[in-house]
Amino acid sequence: MTRRHTVCVVGGGIFGVSAAVALARDGWRVDLVERSPDVLTGASGCNIFRLHRGYHYPRSLATAVESRDCERSFRAEYNEAVIDDSHHLYAIAAQQSLVSGAEFLAHCAAAALPVETVNHPNVRRSAVELLVSAKESRIDPERLAITARAKLRAAGVRVRTGTPADASLTASYDFVVLAANHSNNGVLAGLGIPVRRRQFEVCEVAVLEGVEVGDTDIVVMDGPFVSLSPYGRNTGRFLLYDVEHSVRHRAVSTVFEPPNEFSAALASGAPVPVPDSAVAAMLDTASRFVRGLRHARYVGSLVSVRTVLPDVDRTDERPTIVEWHTETTLSILSGKIVTAVAAGRAVAAALRSRTEPGFGKTITCSSAAWAARKATITGCGPDIA
C-alpha cells in the first residue's frame, strides 16, 4: 500500500471483530462501528456457545467440513475462551428424525469426525436410536468478549460503539465491510445497493438453573428436538434450545426489523425474562429425552436474530460467505461462530487484492472477471491467508 487505506467494519460481533483485527494487522486503518453500547452483545453474545465441528449438520457435509476445518484458526485466535473439559453427546431421536442413526454415523465418517457409541444415565435410551460421545468444545462468552476487546486494542482498531452505520458515516472510508448480521441488508439498502432475500429468525435460548446432568452437553437430532448445554465456565447454568419452539418469529425478506415485543431482550445482551417465553414447551420436549430436568428453574432468555439463506430446509446448510457488492463494499454472511477467524482472514485477503496495481481498473460489477474474483473469496476454508 502506498498509504494506509481506511476501512469501516460495521458490526461488533465476533465476525466483525475478527475482520477488523485481521485488517488492522494487515496494515489498514480500521474503525469498528457498532450501534450497541459494547461489542459481542448481539447474536455473538446470545447463542448456544458450542464450538461446532460439524456433528450438528448431518444433512450438509459442506457445512460440517467448513466447521471442522475452521476450528484451528478460531482456537489460534480465541483459545482462552474455549472450554475443552465438557462431555459432549449427540443423540438421534428414535422417531421423527430426518436422518437415521446409520446415516449420522456415515456423515461423521465422511467428515472425519470421531464418535463412540455410548449409553448415559441422563439420556432416555428408549427415546433415541443412537447415542454417541463426540469430540467437541464450548465457548465461554465472558472470556470471549474480554479476549475480543483485548485483540481490538492490541491491533489498534478504533471501536465506535453506540454508532449506527449510514451513508453519511461510511462515505469517508475507502472500503466498507458489513458484518452486522440481520442489519447487513438494511445498511446495503441505505447505501443504494441491491440486496438479496434472507431468512431472519428471532431465536430464544432459555437459561436454566437446577439442571442435574453434570458438565454434559446433549444434542438430540435431527428434527424438532433440543440442545442442552452448560452456560459458560462453572456457572451452574444451562442453555436450552428447541428447534421448534425457540424460533419465536421467522420472516423471509430483503430487510428485517424484529417485532417490538423482543426489543428489550435483544438490546439486553444478557438473560432476561421474555414475555410469553417458550420455556415450558422447550422443557416438555427436552424431558422426553433427558433426565435431570425435574428441578430446572427458568432464569431468563437470551434472544438474538439469526440470519440464514432462505430455502435450505432440506439441507439446513449454514455457509459463511464473504461477498463483494460494489468495488468498495463487501459483506459477511455469518454461518457458524467457528468460522469467524477464517472469514476475517478472507476479508483481509479480499481487500488486499483491491490494492494490487490495476485491479480496480479492470474489474467491474458486470464483468466475468468480477464474478470469478467473487467466487474465490466465497467461503472460508482453512488455507485462506
For the segment 312-332, what is each residue's pLDDT rounded down to a tens digit?
Answer: 999 999 999 999 999 999 999
pLDDT at 3: 63
- State the DSSP string of 104-116: HHHHHHHTT--EE
From first to last of its 385 residues, the chain has per-residue pLDDT tens of: 456 799 999 999 999 999 999 999 999 999 999 999 999 988 888 889 999 999 999 999 999 999 999 999 999 999 999 999 889 999 999 999 999 999 999 999 999 999 999 999 999 999 999 999 999 999 999 999 999 999 999 999 999 999 999 999 999 999 999 999 999 999 999 999 999 999 999 999 999 999 999 999 999 999 999 999 999 999 999 999 999 999 999 999 999 999 999 999 998 888 999 989 999 999 999 999 999 999 999 999 999 999 999 999 999 999 999 999 999 999 999 879 999 999 999 999 999 998 865 443 322 222 333 333 443 334 444 333 3
Domain 6-354 annotated CATH 3.50.50.60:
yes
Q: pLDDT at position 376, please?
A: 31
pLDDT value at position 356?
66
Do 376 and 54 meet the contact criterion of CB atoms below 8 Å apart? no
Instruction: Give me the DSSP letters along 189-249.
Output: HHTT-----EEEEEEEEEEEE---S-SEEEEEESSS-EEEEE-SSS-SEEEEEETTTSEEE
SS3 call for 153: helix
- Cα–Cα–Cα angle for 55, 56, 59, nearest 5°? 95
d(CA 361, CA 371): 15
